[in-house]
Structure 1
Amino acid sequence: MKFKLNINQTLQQLLKQEDTDKDKRITVDDKGPKRFILKSPSEEIVIEGTYYLSNLLQELVLAKENNQDFIETESLFQLPADRISKMIRKYFWDGLTRTLDEKGLEKLLLDSKSKTDKPIIYIPFTDNFGWQYFRKLAPIFNLKVVQLPKIISSEYVSSINNEGGILALALKKEDQNIEGFPFVVPGARFNEMYGWDSYFENIGLLIDQKLDLAQSMVENFEYQITHYGKILNANRSYYLTRTQPPFYSSMIREVYEAMTVKDQEWLRKKLEICIKEYETVWMENGKRLAENGLNRYFAQGIGLPPETEPGHYDAILKPFAEAENLSISEYENLYYHRKIENKTLDAYFVHDRSVRESGHDTSYRIEGNCAHLNVVELNAMLYKYETDFAELIALYFDNYFEYNSKIYNKKYWAKKAESRKKIMNRLLWNEQESCFFDYNFKTQKQNIFLSATSFFPLWAKIATQEQADKMIEKCLPKLVFLGGIAGCSEEALSTISKGQMQRQWDFPNGWPPHQMVIWRGLINYGYEGKAQELIYRWLWTITKNASDYNGTVPEKFDVVSASHKVFAEYGNQGTDFEYISREGFGWMNASFQLGLSLLNEDLKTKLNQLINPIELFN
């Protein structure tokens, strides 16, 4: 029903009465009466409670922006989970969508990461079309257009670290119009196209029937592999030597399977590109392939990663600064600009950049040793590449696929997958602990650290049923808390002193990709009931926080307290907004839509009633 009223006046009255902490939101932290009356000449509606009052605030803001003199009362009283899902589908994806072209440049260039007065866009040496296009736009946007060298060295990337420029993405020409393929950014301060975020975002896009946008994400990754040699950590200049967790085969497969009309040539081209990435990024000896046949993260680069916040490395730099009788900031500046040599720090930052390549930046699991680890999750992802290649070639190409003068069939890829599984079982599986652990190929020992990543072999279908049973019985309970799955068990941090900074990918924090992977892994091995429980815990956490905090959908949660108020480095993205969240956070949005699509109807009803998981499962 349309309820007519003076939008501006009502908005001001509501904020004056209910927004007692003056943050332009209505949350449980406000101390107002939590009761507001909407009046029209013919009727009145009483709005009570934080959730419904924050809905009113949001609907008034939307009405104001649309020059309406009414609000839809049905929207005020939507059930909480239904409203979050609608906001994601109707508003959040649009708020996170960007294009790197004339229409979208301004949104990307006005970014805190740009470190020069004149914004810079870098064009690959091999992309003449993009070079010509952006040179024409340069005067319009006061833009500096730079062509990258043919060979991008660590030294070159180090020389441009202070600029923070944007890296070009794919363009398309239709008739006389040139447009960028749209892409979804994570949100908040992450205003670029990120590597593994994009895969999880694509899951949500496909659920919300945004196939064209999901397909465009795949096109942009093809461009990155073709012109930059890898899927980038993100399309920012200082990420040129760094990739991220490999999910490209899953993206390709899921987008293709969502197509109503199957485009086999599209699939052929994408498979060729994905095989190229597999062979050149992951399987070249001496880089990300260890001698034992398993893989590692190994980001290139020199010195300090430039994207970190001030003070992040103070504890690492302090003893070296004191030895030189310098302040930490003085020493950091000299080391960053390579005016001081320090081989110990150089070795540390190889590991540190590799941590960032892993996407798990940061975690005590891989701090100071990442480049020496065959991590469980990476090898599970590459096993998934190998099995995806085998199955797609068998299903759609009659078991015959030619690429780069080489013939591939199902047997070729199945053999590679089986070889990887055998090595993983030999080096990563721990029978006594009933778990997969990362393997340090330098010390030739497992890193006994129970992490959510230990369960990636269930997602990739590597584990035997017996292994899965043991892991779910013995290890999974150590990761499950009120609000979902923690990044690691509490006991995994037993050797970390109380005074050390919490790492954001560790206990007590929980992240969307871990939840989504583990849900799928449980379903793969017949644990539907346990999957339902874990989905409910996570969705309840999202729904409760959004209900209490004006629609907040953040980057991560403290799953022990089931709160978005996280105390770790970098804080929590997606929580800083006024009046109404415009975008949530990319992979959190996707986890909600996936979870809701998997949750049974009875639990959906309980979710909308915000029934605490303790009442249902403990």
Structure 2
Amino acid sequence: MALYGSHFFEAVQTSGFFPDGKFFVDGVPKNGLTPADIKAKFNATRRDPNFDLKSFVLDNFNFEQKEFTYLPDPNIPIAEHITRMWDHLTLAPVQPTAHSSLLPLQHAHVVPSPRFSEPYYWDSYFTLRGLIADSQRLIREGRIPEAFKLRQLAAGMVQNFADMIDEYGFIPNGARTYYLDRSQPPVFALMVRELGKLAPSAMTTYLPQMMAEHSFWRDGADQLQPGQAHRRAVMLEDGSVLARHWSDIDLIIGNEGDDAGEEKEWDADRHEPSRLREEAFHVDEKTAANSDTDAALALRAAAESGHDFSTQRWSEDGMTLETMRTPDILPVGLNALLYMNERIIAQAAGQAGERGAAGYYRQLARDRKTAMRKHMWDPEAKHFADYLWRERRKSPVRSSDTAFPLFARMASGKQARRVEQAVREDLLVPGGIRTTATETGQQWDNHIWAPVAMVAVEGLDNYRSPLGRLASADSPLAVPLKPIAACLRNGRGRLADIIANRFMRTVQNNYQMDGEIWEKYRSNGQRGGGGEYKVQRGFGWTNSAWAVFAERRREQQLRIPRPFRLPGH
């Protein structure tokens, strides 16, 4: 929003008129007014005794929020409910009007819930997985046009992100101008891989964009010396390079934003309003005012992580936003995803006949795997942990990110066994798998989330025995079991079944109570809470996880070797 940083913007965002700070920054000036026009009107009238700020805002801005038009009906089977929800969550291509904060999108896209009028980066990978899984069910039921529509939607989402990489050099947090300072966990290559299972040419088609995005995450790495950092790249004392989350807000507002070569001495300007998140301005202002660190940068970087927020992981004291130190942390999940990126790009480069590039990315993957096993594997705690690179030690926090190296197939068999034990000890709960074991009031602590469940289940599946692919006694689908099944599954296979089935039961139990599928759930399986906005219904990636797990269960029962393909795909 071009009004960001003005007295008018600060007055509105600190007024409390709108309980959700995102509401105002998604507004669009009325009647062709420019931001300069609005600031001039505001300055000319704000000292009038009869001036009312809320009325001024409503008189000069249009606010459009998508609302669901369906009536919740728990009597509709949940699988069919999910299929119907795609239409409610799908928005048309976007050509933004003047002074809108929306970014242009040439293809239809899926949003998480009515609160959001734009797609979000890492949400979209898990959503794409759900679209493809749901299309499988529709094909079996003979509903080919509906299945084809879902797959076209998935392909369009990939193209939208490719367009963003071409335009901005990376994929923003979400399709809004106020997200252009940061990205989210890099899953574009994973989306391309999934699309490539249906249309193999996708791997080479999107190779340039996969390479470009990887360069964004590794920018400056080749110029670093041990102990230095530049943007998202950090070189450790042994010369290995790993990644962190960051925000380019200082580059955007014209300040020097990296800390390559030395520790930046932040002055009073670290709390200047122009560095706070536009969509969460008021809460960030309060946090920054009570922080002795660069809270504005740490909050933005944590938003890039997708885990916004987990004070257990991102804060020094484990409890408060004021002590957040996100740029000082090298996350397990982020680096596992970059390892996957490097492997996928190497594969695509090989298919394209670019042998030199394929070898380069394979070497990057090997180097990252070696560094992660050295710096992130904790042999005493027996799990993968985030790395505190300035302190040269592993984080003591056990989080669900410990499953990411299994998801990426980069853990050893022994490490996988230890991770399985760690998850059972601290993270397995009645509702599924939780993010962390401590309640902090933040939504990414001690909560159950769809992407966490999907990563854990697929990661554990990667290390299970081939004979373990049979139905589980913990299934909410009440499928009869063969008595021998329990004897054939190994521990990781059983745990994957338990997590998937508990998650499905959590979603289904809540659906039967209120006809809704929720953004997140508490560890006991009830509707979730916490965070900067009320818990959302809808919900894109939760629908997807249920659909993916249902398809997984069916494939276990019938041993289907691979997805059906539509004609021409």
Q: TM-score range by the shorter chain?
A: 0.5 to 0.7
1:245 aligns with 2:211: no
Identify the residue that residue 90 of structure 2 maps to in structure 1: 97
C-alpha deviation, 1:234, in angstroms: 0.6
Structure-2 separation of matches of 1:291 and 1:371: 13
Match among 352, 363, 383 for residue 299 of structure 2: 352
1:361 aligns with 2:299: no
Structure-2 separation of matches of 1:515 and 1:528: 14
2:305 maps to a residue whose letter is S
1:306 maps to a residue whose letter is E
Match among 115, 129, 135 for residue 189 of structure 1: 115
Match among 450, 460, 474 for residue 512 of structure 1: 450
- TM (norm. structure 2) is 0.67
1:523 maps to a residue whose letter is D
* 1:253-402 equivalent positions in 2, closer than 5 A: 253-259=193-199, 262=200, 264=201, 266-285=202-221, 286-292=230-236, 293-302=241-250, 303-308=275-280, 310-311=282-283, 313-318=285-290, 344=292, 347-364=294-311, 365-367=313-315, 368-394=324-350, 396-397=351-352, 400-401=353-354
The 1:587–1:61 alpha-carbon spacing in structure 2 relative to 1, beyond 3 Å, is closer
Post-superposition Cα deviations, 1:554-575, rounded to whole Å, max 9, x if no partner, equal: 1100022x1115245423111x
Structure-1 separation of matches of 2:555 and 2:505: 14
Identify the residue that residue 133 of structure 1 maps to in structure 2: none
The 1:450–1:590 alpha-carbon spacing in structure 2 relative to 1, beyond 3 Å, is same
* 1:81-480 equivalent positions in 2, closer than 5 A: 83-89=77-83, 91-101=84-94, 121=96, 143-144=97-98, 165-169=101-105, 180-209=106-135, 210-259=150-199, 262=200, 264=201, 266-285=202-221, 286-292=230-236, 293-302=241-250, 303-308=275-280, 310-311=282-283, 313-318=285-290, 344=292, 347-364=294-311, 365-367=313-315, 368-394=324-350, 396-397=351-352, 400-401=353-354, 407-409=356-358, 411-480=359-428
Identify the residue that residue 544 of structure 2 maps to in structure 1: 590
More strand by share: 1
Structure-2 separation of matches of 1:269 and 1:195: 20
Post-superposition Cα deviations, 1:144-194, rounded to whole Å, max 9, x if no partner, equal: 26xxxxxxxxxxxxxxxxxx611112xxxxxxxxxx311111112122111
Post-superposition Cα deviations, 1:65-101, rounded to whole Å, max 9, x if no partner, equal: xxxxxxxxxx9865xxxx1111111x21111111234
Structure-1 separation of matches of 2:214 and 2:297: 22
The 1:77–1:545 alpha-carbon spacing in structure 2 relative to 1, beyond 3 Å, is closer
Which SS does the other structure have where 1:294 is aligned? Answer: strand
Gaps of 5+ in 2: 1-67, 136-149, 222-229, 251-274, 316-323, 465-491, 559-569
Moved more, 199-208 or 277-286: 277-286
C-alpha deviation, 1:356, in angstroms: 0.3
C-alpha deviation, 1:282, in angstroms: 3.0
Identify the residue that residue 488 of structure 1 maps to in structure 2: 436
1:84 maps to a residue whose letter is I
Which SS does the other structure have where 1:208 is aligned? Answer: helix
Structure-2 separation of matches of 1:283 and 1:503: 31
Structure-2 separation of matches of 1:533 and 1:511: 15
Tell me, yes or no, if the aligned pair for 1:536 and 1:603 is still in contact at 8 Å: no
Post-superposition Cα deviations, 1:82-131, rounded to whole Å, max 9, x if no partner, equal: x1111111x21111111234xxx6xxxxxxxxxxxxxxx3xxxxxxxxxx
Identify the residue that residue 559 of structure 1 maps to in structure 2: 523
RMSD across aligned positions (CA): 2.5
Tell me, yes or no, if the aligned pair for 1:483 and 1:541 is still in contact at 8 Å: yes
C-alpha deviation, 1:453, in angstroms: 1.0
The 1:603–1:544 alpha-carbon spacing in structure 2 relative to 1, beyond 3 Å, is farther
- TM (norm. structure 1) is 0.62
Identify the residue that residue 10 of structure 2 maps to in structure 1: none
Post-superposition Cα deviations, 1:517-562, rounded to whole Å, max 9, x if no partner, equal: 000001001022221111110000000001011x1101100022x1
Post-superposition Cα deviations, 1:247-294, rounded to whole Å, max 9, x if no partner, equal: 1111001111123xx4x3x43230111111101333433121101200
Identify the residue that residue 573 of structure 1 maps to in structure 2: 536
The number of residue pairs the alignment matches comes to: 405
Identify the residue that residue 505 of structure 2 maps to in structure 1: 540
Same amino acid, percent of matched pairs = 29
Structure-2 separation of matches of 1:463 and 1:287: 27
Larger radius of gyration: 1
C-alpha deviation, 1:204, in angstroms: 0.5
Tell me, yes or no, if the aligned pair for 1:183 and 1:217 is still in contact at 8 Å: yes
C-alpha deviation, 1:474, in angstroms: 3.2
2:102 maps to a residue whose letter is I
Structure-1 separation of matches of 2:518 and 2:557: 23
